[in-house]
Structure 1
Amino acid sequence: MKNLLSGFVCLFTILLFTNCANDDNITRIETSLVYKVYALNAISDPSVTGYSRFVKNEDQSVTIELNLSGLLSDQMHPAHIHYNTAAETGGIAITLGTINSNTGRSEVTITELDDGTPITYEELLDFDGYINVHLSNSNLDILVAQADIGQNELTGVTKTYGLNELDVDGISGSAKFSERLNGEALATIQLTNAIPGNEHLAHIHNNTALESGTVALTFNPVDGDTGISHTNITQLDDTTPFLYENIEDFDGYINVHLSPTDLDTIIAQGDIGENELTGESVVYELDEVAIADISGTASFYKRQNGEALAIIELMNTPVDGMHPGHIHQNDISTTGPVIFTFNDVDGNTGISQTNVIQLDDGTPFGYDDVLEVNGYINIHLSATNLNTLVAQGNIGINN
């Protein structure tokens, strides 16, 4: 009986291992495998998804696996590791395996670059490069999937700024900065309703959009067909180092232009860095005074650096008029001298925008100071008729 039982256990064990060996659905757990995975992003066909896996082998070689799904059948997709970032582009560093779309897979084991330079697993994880998967050998310009790798990998830390409509109706978007492992940044500008066939130049300028300023950094142009621009950020145009960590403290704004031959037409614009609006604001009413039906508001928006964007909006202002505006000391009933001068209200739009940094005498004056000021606002009919007030309202502690 004992021998019979032993024989049964041995047979059961043999059958078990035989069945396991033939079961293609079993996932093997590779507990000792050292590897790094990079997501492959779809380029020409959004339904494509996948990844690349770099595996460190015991003999110090590296196996690079590619795995894609959502491909058309019966296609062969060559793949390479290129130098630089995908936004910069660069020559081929390593020729990878060709993906058979029926399996979605390829695999190659390497110990060196295509030029014979030895490379290790650890060096690949710090490599300045990216992966391209191409449509075919005869269509290398059409990309199926792509990924920045090594030191260019994105950390997942991002900062996004809104780009507001300006001179062309309906065009707006965003500028997203994504941190890389090496501290550099990938800048992605994305516009809605960009103009097909156009190339929209884009720049970071110094100062706020209201103050205007010189170009500090030039982006790759926005493709009017896709509305997208990708730029790798390492330095300003004057070669001053400019990394991801510098963006949120930068005193600047972004302009996106209509075309290389029409830079004066701004299709989208947004303050960035320390000039970004925090979302905190206060609104004061401006009541009609000498002229019936002219009234409005004065809104103050806090910036990250503590300064304020002041926007005066009036209804029914005379066409072509220019209306000076000031903050005066004290309240309306007491009256007082001018302590701050706004940019004039344009009678055609009824709007004035002013960056608030300091009083006219140079005293620092930011958003928090507006809330505590002992003052009121006067809007005048014109520079030659300051005695005629078109709108007025208490602000700060007098509100």
Structure 2
Amino acid sequence: MTLFFKSKSLLKYFLLFSLLTIFSCGDDDSDGDAFENVTQLASKTFQLFPVEDPSISGTAKFIKNSNETVTVEIQLIGTEEGNLHPAHIHFNTAAEGGDIAITLQAVEGETGFSTTTFDVLDDDTIISYEELLDFDGYINVHFSESNLEDIIAQGDIGQNELTGTTKSYALGSVDFPAISGNATFSQRVNNETLVTINLDGTPASGEHPAHIHFNTAAETGAIAYSLNTIDGTTGESKTNIDAISYNNLLDFDGYINVHLSDTNLDVLLAQGDIGQNELTGTSVTYNLSAVSDPSIMGDITFFERFNGEALAVIDIINTPNGAMHPAHIHAGSVATAPGAILFTFTPVNGDNGVSKTNVAMLDNGTSFVYNDVLTVDGYVNVHESMDNLAVLVAQGNIGANN
């Protein structure tokens, strides 16, 4: 009898131990799921550039995780302790601006660091690491939650990332000698273009419209692409161009104009030929001697373009204000004059003594480019006026006759 009760008690203890073991094993499995071992499979780093404060810059590292999430780590230098800087991934390029796509953890001023892990956009659209690498977006890091307009760091990401390939064009002064600068074309991964204009000498608080036009500056032409307005305080403008590829833009038949204001487009601050119209740096100059008035003289310079054409610049001193002086290339030499007109220049403006003309073909339609100028049997006449072509103000041999 005693043995029976002991056996029964042992059986109860055995069953209780078995149940505890089962539940214990179940808890261990649950704990293992909660602490999943997530590993980093790949990463890509994008640059974040200074905006309001030139001492603040950094990087944004995109990390592909093994659990199909993405981690973005922002690391900035130059931030100060006690500040908390909101950060977001926005749609579009930084030059265009766009709505918030993903809200990131704020950057701590003390460390300059922020880390955010996610797998969806703010609107719950699923996003993968691979999709982010091709994302049409940019990152903004703001000064504070109450001052989002002040941006301390910014950078294009995904397909908008810059490749490092750039091309710069000079923008010379026009109506204001103190204002000049350059336009830099930067290639994006998607072969679009960031156009950055930087001018020196612009008036503070000014707003200056800018455009890419068709043709050369000497010919003038209609607006091809409107650029973002230049801030007179900084002299800077940034524009994304997606209607034409970077490679095609480098071969574009165009020029850039920067105007004084929307209400005064006739006044130009700066101007420069771009694409195939860019000057190579090769030029030739011929003297234009005085004829009817010994005080009026000058020269003509032909500048070679990358497309083989030429820019002809006539520069005459002591021309009378208000006068317009016709000018031509004639056949033959000064010694054998008069010769037939081969090419007609833009008239010389008496107010500044300057004429600028694109040289691509003769008046009869025959091709006439920079190399032809060097060998032409010709001379240049600058006349007093259309009504008095017989009176010459300046004259000189060019090409084979020089």
TM-score (norm 1): 0.87
Give distance in 1, aligned partners of 2:144 and 2:386. Answer: 69
Matches within 5 A, 1:355-366: 355-366=358-369
Task: Give the greater-gyration-radius structure (CA).
Answer: 2
Deviation string 1:125-154 (CA, Å, 9 cap, x unpaired) is 001111111111111111110110000000
The 1:385/1:159 distance shift into structure 2, 3 A limit, reads same
Give distance in 2, aligned partners of 1:166 and 1:88. Answer: 29
- 1:257 is displaced (CA, Å) by 1.3
Please list every run of 5 or more consecutive structure 2 residues that lacks an aligned counterpart in the other structure.
1-38
Structure-1 residue corresponding to 2:54? 46
Q: Confirm or deny that 1:196 pairs with 2:199.
A: no
- 1:33 is displaced (CA, Å) by 5.3
Opposite residue 373 of structure 1, the aligned amino acid is: V
Matches within 5 A, 1:1-16: none
Q: Confirm or deny that 1:250 pairs with 2:252.
A: yes
Matches within 5 A, 1:164-183: 164-183=172-191
CA contact (8 A) 2:41 2:66 kept: no
Q: Return 353-362 or 149-158, whichever deviates more.
A: 353-362
SS in 2 for 1:371: helix
* Aligned partner (choices 309, 317, 320) of residue 319 of structure 2: 317
Matches within 5 A, 1:121-160: 121-160=129-168
Give distance in 2, aligned partners of 1:169 and 1:100. Answer: 46
Q: Return 180-189 or 257-266, whichever deviates more.
A: 257-266
Structure-2 residue corresponding to 1:283? 285
Q: Confirm or deny that 1:370 pairs with 2:361.
A: no
Taking only the aligned residue pairs, the percentage that are identical comes to 55
Structure-2 residue corresponding to 1:10? none
SS in 2 for 1:98: strand
Structure-2 residue corresponding to 1:398? 401
SS in 2 for 1:135: strand
Structure-2 residue corresponding to 1:18? none
SS in 2 for 1:211: coil
* Aligned partner (choices 69, 73, 97) of residue 65 of structure 1: 73
Opposite residue 87 of structure 1, the aligned amino acid is: A
Give distance in 1, aligned partners of 2:71 and 2:371. Answer: 59
Q: Confirm or deny that 1:348 pairs with 2:356.
A: no
Structure-1 residue corresponding to 2:228? 220
- 1:275 is displaced (CA, Å) by 1.4
Please list every run of 5 or more consecutive structure 1 residues that lacks an aligned counterpart in the other structure.
1-30, 236-241
Aligned length: 363
- 1:303 is displaced (CA, Å) by 1.3
Alpha-carbon RMSD across the aligned residues, in angstroms, is 1.6
CA contact (8 A) 2:40 2:65 kept: no
Deviation string 1:151-196 (CA, Å, 9 cap, x unpaired) is 0000011111111111233111111111111111111111112222
Give distance in 2, aligned partners of 1:193 and 1:388. Answer: 42
CA contact (8 A) 2:40 2:63 kept: no
Structure-1 residue corresponding to 2:21? none
TM-score (norm 2): 0.87
- 1:85 is displaced (CA, Å) by 0.8
- 1:48 is displaced (CA, Å) by 0.8
- 1:274 is displaced (CA, Å) by 1.6
